[in-house]
Amino acid sequence: MKFVDKVKIEVKAGDGGNGCVAFRREKYVPRGGPAGGDGGKGGDVVFVADPNMKTLLDFKYKKRLEAERGQHGSGNKKAGKSGKDLIVKVPVGTVIKDANTGEVLADLTKPGQKVVVAKGGRGGRGNAAFASPTCQAPDWAEEGEKGEEKTLELELKLIADVGLLGMPNAGKSTFLSVVTKAKPKIANYPFTTLVPNLGVASIDGYSFVIADIPGLIEGASKGKGLGHEFLRHVERCKILLHLVDISDYEDPIEKIEKINKELHEYSPKLASKKQILVATKKDALWDEEKLKKLKNYAKEKNLPLFIISSVTREGIEDLLRYVKEILQKEENKKEKEDNSGSE
């Protein structure tokens, strides 16, 4: 299945039905009163977050969505039937923006969350609604209102507990494949991961979602490389695992600093998220001095550091248990806040 995380579409709510001009026509009632019914309301366009949807691919091919219009009123004061709302399913994590103004209309972060993005037009009143002591036979009715029409931009931001940071070829995909059942593409060259991969890791009966996100390059905050395509998916993660390859010839600290600089330039809030340093490819380490330097850096920055090998699984369980503890603390903290807020 192709992963699509950004699309532009048009939506049109249903027009309201027209009111009716009619008069009673009954035997022995030569001049019956007005009897035109009201038009029905047009259907709304409603977006719903569906946990079973993982991509915006459907909207790549269906660019215009229209709700049903309301039916016209008829004689005998019969109101027209209202148009059906158009229910549009989108993945959890979809941000809906007005494409013309950039205004965020909704951020659907919870399964089942709904938002009306375009309201249906009100039905027009029939002539029966205009009868009065001074105007007993009105011969006019209202037209239905037009339904709202908008151009929207849908943007999917993955919702994961843990995001994997790291330069291209830092070992993120291999790590994900080892700790979860995800099957990302793995190869020894940059940008193997062109789209985010999700996997569920489990340790001691506790599960959490990890997102392997395309690698960064310098200048990503300005849109270079995979740039913003990468960064917007990191925004929702609770913890960031910053993976750095210690088996190559490059300075690991320089690589860490480059990525943190890009995060800060894109969003200071993103840069302030809790990070755990993960030194990868321990099995291929040839320069112990490099690891010693990294340990001193982690101590200086007060960052937890784990040294792992996805090939031998060394250090993997310890890392997952540490992640579990942090996530559980976050959950307990949020639960207390929710409880105190509802009192």
Q: Cα–Cα distance between 306 and 315 in angstroms, integer?
A: 7
Q: Cα–Cα distance between 298 and 246 in angstroms, integer?
A: 14
Q: Are 90 and 47 in contact (CB under 8 A)?
A: yes
Q: What is the pLDDT of residue 326?
A: 92
Residue 311 burial (CB < 10 Å; 0-12/13-18/19+)? middle
Q: What is the mean pLDDT of the chain?
A: 84
Q: Where are the domains of the chain?
A: 6-156, 162-342
**Is there a common fold for 6-156 and 162-342?**
no
* Of 160-174, 271-285, 297-311, highest mean pLDDT: 297-311
* Average of per-residue pLDDT across 7-28: 90
Q: Cα–Cα distance between 125 and 39 in angstroms, integer?
A: 6
Q: Cα–Cα distance between 139 and 128 in angstroms, integer?
A: 9
Q: For residue 308, give the nearest of 246, 254, 238 by alpha carbon.
A: 246
Q: What is the pLDDT of residue 33?
A: 85
More confident residue, 305 or 195: 305
Q: For residue 65, give the nearest of 45, 42, 50 by alpha carbon.
A: 45
The owner of tokens 């009123």 is 73
**CA-CA-CA-CA dihedral for 200, 201, 207, 210, to nearest 10:** -60
Domain spanning 6-156: CATH 3.30.60.50: no
Give the confidence band of 126 by pLDDT, cuts at 50, 70, 90. very high
pTM: 0.66
Give the tokens for residue 186.
Answer: 């793995």
More confident residue, 297 or 205: 297
pLDDT in tens, 59-70: 888 899 999 999
Lowest-confidence range among 18-32, 73-87, 204-218, 303-317?
204-218
> Has residue 16 got a pLDDT over 70?
yes
Q: Is 135 helix (H, G, I), strand (E, B) or coil?
A: strand
Which superfamily does CATH assign the domain made up of 162-342 to?
Answer: P-loop containing nucleotide triphosphate hydrolases (3.40.50.300)
Cα separations in angstroms, 237 against 67, 160, 162, 198:
35, 5, 5, 12
> Has residue 178 got a pLDDT over 60?
yes
Q: Cα–Cα distance between 244 and 314 in angstroms, integer?
A: 16
